[in-house]
Each structure stands twice: as structure tokens, then as C-alpha cells.
Structure 1
């Protein structure tokens, strides 16, 4: 029965750590731009082709 208390304590500690990391990520602005990554894949080839052309010239 004491093992279950240890497991509950460890799981609570891990949950608190994940919650703290999540709040730090939100505070630093990791989740502010949620539209650009979906659009970026559409323009990636165009940007790479321009860079290749600039390097050739």
C-alpha cells in the first residue's frame, strides 16, 4: 500500500513539472503564432528556389 502513495507523489511531481514548463512556454510566446507554421510549408519551396538562384548568380 505504501508503493501507491509513492507513485501518487511521483506522478503529482511530474505533473507539476510539466505544468510549470507549459506556463513558461506560454510566457515566452511559444504558442502565439499558430497560423504561420501551417502556411510556411506552402512557401518553403519558393524560398529555397530563390536562394539557389541567388547562389548561382
Structure 2
């Protein structure tokens, strides 16, 4: 999962979202999505959610 969701990939996706928001006439959303700190926060949030899910799962148990 870490190999797919690198900060560069997340920044690219958010940049694409910023362009789409700008084309849709939402300049405030485009500015938020285009901010580099947003990509760092998104990566941190995905990591935190993954940690919570991993903590909630029972893991591999012997059959």
C-alpha cells in the first residue's frame, strides 16, 4: 500500500482535483487541494486510518 500511496502520487491526485475544482468554478476548493500541505495531511490521514483498521482487525489466526 505504501508503494502506491506515496506523497508524490497523492500530490498528483490532489493537483488533478484542484484543476477539476477550478474548471467547475470552485476557486476556494481548488486552492485547498492545490496546497502542498494538503497532500502531506492526506498521507498522514491514510496512515492513521490504516493503523486504526490494523488495530481493530484480529490478524492472522491459525486454523
Could you say whether these structures have the same fold, taking a TM-score greater than 0.5 normalized by the shorter chain as the test? no
Task: Give TM-score, length-normalised by structure 2.
Answer: 0.37
Q: Which has the higher helix share?
A: 1
Task: Give TM-score, length-normalised by structure 1.
Answer: 0.41
Larger radius of gyration: 1
